[in-house]
Every structure is written in C-alpha cells, then in structure tokens.
C-alpha cells in the first residue's frame, strides 16, 4: 500500500470552525475502510502556528513536537466542539518582501516528508498556498474568515458563529440601551468587507448599518436618528463595520504599523461616530467594539457542519490528486475552485443591489439581494 503524509495548518486570524475542519480531514484520511478502498495509507501531521511552524521547525530535532503534532481520530475526536484552533495560528508570511523565508519552508516540507499540504485560511494564508503551489507543492485550501471576503465561495468558516455572537451581544445591549434611552454604536470586524456588519445588523435588527463599501454622511445618520426618535424610538442600535468611514475621511486605524501581509489594524470608527452622534443629535450615545469576541466561542451548528463538509472535500481532492484548489460552497453545493481564481480579489457587498443608501440599511427587497 502506498503512503501519503498530509500536513495541515491554520493561518491568519482564528475563528470557530477550524477545529471541525481539522477533525474531519483526519477522520476521512485515516478511515480504515476508505484507506483499503483507495489502496493508500494516509497520515496527517498537524503543523503548529500556521506558516510560522513550517518556517521555524527543525526537522529531525528532538524538539520537533514543538512544531509538529501527528493527528489521529482519537486525538481529534472532540475537537469539533471547540472554538479557535487546536493547532495554533500566526500571521507569518514566508514570502514577506522584508524577510523572505520561502526557501526554508520548501526545504522543511521536503525534510519532513510532507507529500501534500492542507492550508485552512483566508486570502493571506491561501495566497501563500498559491505561491507554494506554483513552486510545485501539492496543496489544497479550505476557506475560513469571519470577514466572508473570499471570492469563489458562498461560505467561509467562522462567519455564522461570528453572526451569532453579534446577535447575542446586541440582544444584551438592547435592554440596557432601552432602559437608559441611549444610542449604541456597535463596531464589528470585517476589514474592507461589510458582510459582518450587514448580516449581523440584519440578524439583530440594527436601525442603521454602515459598511466600508459606502462612505456615509454623518449628517444623514443624525437625521435618521432624530427622525426615529420623533416616531417613538426609545433607543437605537447603529452598526458600523471597522472599515467604514464618513465621506471625506480616511479609514480609522488603531495603529499605522502593518503586519507581514501589509495590513493595518483597523478600528476606532465606532468611538468617533458615537461622539459625532452625541454632538449632532443631543442624545446620549455610547460605543462598543465587539472586536475579538466575534472570533471566540464554540462553533455554531452551521460551522460544525461546514467544517465537516470542507474537511471531507479537502481529502477527496487529495485522493483525486486534484491540487492547487480551494474547496468551496457554491449555489448549495460543495465543490472546488483553482486557488488562482480566489486570490487577489475580495468579495465585498454590492452597494447597488445589496444596500439601501437612503436608509443606510440592507436593500429591502430579498429579490435584489439575490442578484
């Protein structure tokens, strides 16, 4: 029987759904009956801390378990219940122009005897996967990011759990906001895509939703709030994505420093807007950034199921020797797409069909949303 060693890693921001995907990769690859049918014996090695693990690992060293964790169905049995990633993650970019460590990664893959890699990540992690694929590495990607900004897939792991967090937190805010007749500005994550704010706002019934794809007018926000009060609203929830900005402003950043993929840490628009609303309307207004809470907690049922489907599909691609692909969920079906088609563009909200610029809200017609 031939032997294949699969290395699996999680990269970028953690989220719920990673552990279910790892579990189902392991269970599918090591399924005894399937191994016999395929005539191939599979092994799965977990690589710790994303691409950092493959940069830092010292193959053959007695400390190799600092970076590598052989996985069995017994080890991963309960993993699908837990959030985050049991393998750890990092934002290490082996192709960083400032410190290119890609040769080290290639040599470590060879020294470790990894025949195939599975990379679970968003645009950055899968961008590295594509570069490695172009260098001849057999690689398969699984999409994850609470931002849901990857193209060529209708779902990315972690998104639904994050929406659940947003909805639950806003339910909590409503009672205190209502009791004090306060306005709450809630800042979500999402980078340059408005999905978390838009769909989190839909799920929780926010009054105004501000997304990065449409620069809003502060005056318009204040007008809508005053109008709502006139019509009897006791309080309001205003949802703002971290990447959203008023007309004429630059994006709000926590610090100018960029990470190894060139991203700034966004944040701060919520606080700014709350002050502008208080000043412009005279109503009491507070802000809250949901921040990393959105990435935390146990995966919701949907992320457990999608992690399972994506994990199984990734192993199927390996069995079929169909590399350089990302598993994907499209039009209700699990499928796969070339990594080449995924990287370099973002899936963002289409303001023309999915957002109402007058109400600063979701486009009211579900028919429009499907376009």
Residues classed as catalytic:
147
Q: What are the DSSP calls for 40-85, one per residue?
A: EEEEEEEETTTHHHHHH--TTSTTGGGTEEEE-HHHHTTGGG--S-
Asked if 190 is part of the footprint of ligand F6P (rule: CB under 6 A), the reply reads: yes
Q: Which stretch binds ligand F6P (CB under 6 A): 37-45, 108-116, 142-150, 308-316?
A: 142-150
Least distance in Å: CB of 183 to ligand F6P?
Answer: 24
Residue selected from 28, 93, 102, 145 as contacting ligand F6P according to rule CB under 6 A: 145
Residue selected from 211, 266, 289, 360 as contacting ligand F6P according to rule CB under 6 A: 266
Cα separation, 30 vs 35, in Å, equals: 7
Asked if 47 is part of the footprint of ligand F6P (rule: CB under 6 A), the reply reads: no
Least distance in Å: CB of 266 to ligand F6P?
Answer: 5
Query: Across the chain, where does the E strand assignment appear?
Result: 2-10, 40-47, 68-71, 116-121, 139-143, 183-188, 208-210, 236-241, 253-258, 264-266, 285-289, 325-330, 333-338, 355-356, 361-362
Strand partners, 129: none
Least distance in Å: CB of 4 to ligand F6P?
Answer: 31
43 vs 149 by CB, closer to ligand F6P = 149
The dihedral formed by the CA atoms of 168, 172, 173 and 174, expressed in degrees to the nearest 10: 100
Least distance in Å: CB of 122 to ligand F6P?
Answer: 6
Asked if 76 is part of the footprint of ligand F6P (rule: CB under 6 A), the reply reads: no
Least distance in Å: CB of 296 to ligand F6P?
Answer: 11
Contact predicate 316/336, CB 8 Å: no
Residue selected from 7, 13, 212, 324 as contacting ligand F6P according to rule CB under 6 A: 13
Asked if 189 is part of the footprint of ligand F6P (rule: CB under 6 A), the reply reads: yes
Residues 6+ apart with CB under 8 A from 282: none
Q: What are phi and psi of 167, to 5 degrees?
A: -65, -45
Cα separation, 272 vs 240, in Å, equals: 11
Site for ligand F6P in 110-129 (CB under 6 A): 122
Residue selected from 43, 49, 147, 213 as contacting ligand F6P according to rule CB under 6 A: 147
Q: Which stretch binds ligand F6P (CB under 6 A): 171-179, 188-196, 215-223, 363-371?
A: 188-196
Residues at the contact surface with ligand F6P, assessed by CB under 6 A: 13, 122, 145-147, 189-191, 242, 265-266, 295
């Amino acid at each position: 029987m031939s032997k294949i060693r699969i290395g699996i890693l999680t990269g970028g921001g953690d989220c719920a759904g990673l552990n279910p995907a790892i579990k189902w990769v392991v269970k599918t690859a090591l399924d005894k009956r399937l191994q016999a049918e395929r005539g191939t014996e599979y092994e799965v090695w977990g690589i710790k801390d994303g691409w950092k693990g493959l940069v830092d690992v010292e193959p053959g060293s007695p400390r190799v378990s600092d970076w590598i964790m052989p996985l069995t169905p017994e080890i991963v049995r309960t993993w699908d219940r837990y959030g985050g990633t049991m393998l750890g993650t990092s934002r290490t970019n082996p192709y960083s122009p400032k410190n290119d460590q890609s040769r080290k990664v290639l040599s470590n893959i060879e020294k470790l005897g990894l025949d195939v890699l599975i990379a679970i990540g968003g645009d950055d992690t899968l961008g590295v996967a594509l570069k490695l694929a172009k260098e001849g590495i057999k690689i398969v990607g699984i999409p994850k990011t609470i931002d849901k900004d990857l193209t060529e897939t209708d779902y990315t792991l972690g998104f639904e759990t994050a929406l659940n967090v947003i909805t639950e937190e806003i339910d909590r805010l409503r009672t205190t906001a209502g009791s004090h007749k306060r306005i709450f500005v809630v800042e979500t994550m999402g980078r340059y895509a408005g999905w978390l704010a838009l769909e989190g706002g839909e799920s929780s019934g926010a009054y105004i939703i501000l997304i990065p794809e449409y620069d809003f007018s502060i005056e318009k926000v204040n007008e809508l709030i005053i109008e709502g009060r006139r019509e009897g609203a006791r309080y309001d929830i205003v949802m703002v994505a971290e990447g959203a900005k008023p007309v004429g402003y630059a994006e709000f950043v926590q610090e100018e420093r960029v990470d190894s993929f060139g991203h700034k840490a966004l944040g701060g628009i919520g606080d700014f807007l709350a002050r502008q609303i208080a000043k412009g309307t005279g109503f009491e207004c507070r802000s809250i950034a949901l921040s990393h809470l959105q990435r935390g907690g146990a995966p919701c049922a949907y992320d457990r199921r999608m992690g399972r489907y994506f994990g199984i599909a990734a192993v199927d691609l390996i069995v079929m020797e169909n590399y350089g692909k990302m598993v994907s969920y499209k039009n209700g079906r699990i499928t796969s797409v070339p990594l080449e088609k995924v990287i370099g563009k973002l899936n963002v909200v289409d303001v023309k069909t999915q957002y109402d610029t007058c109400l600063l809200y979701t486009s009211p017609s579900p028919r429009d949303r499907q376009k």
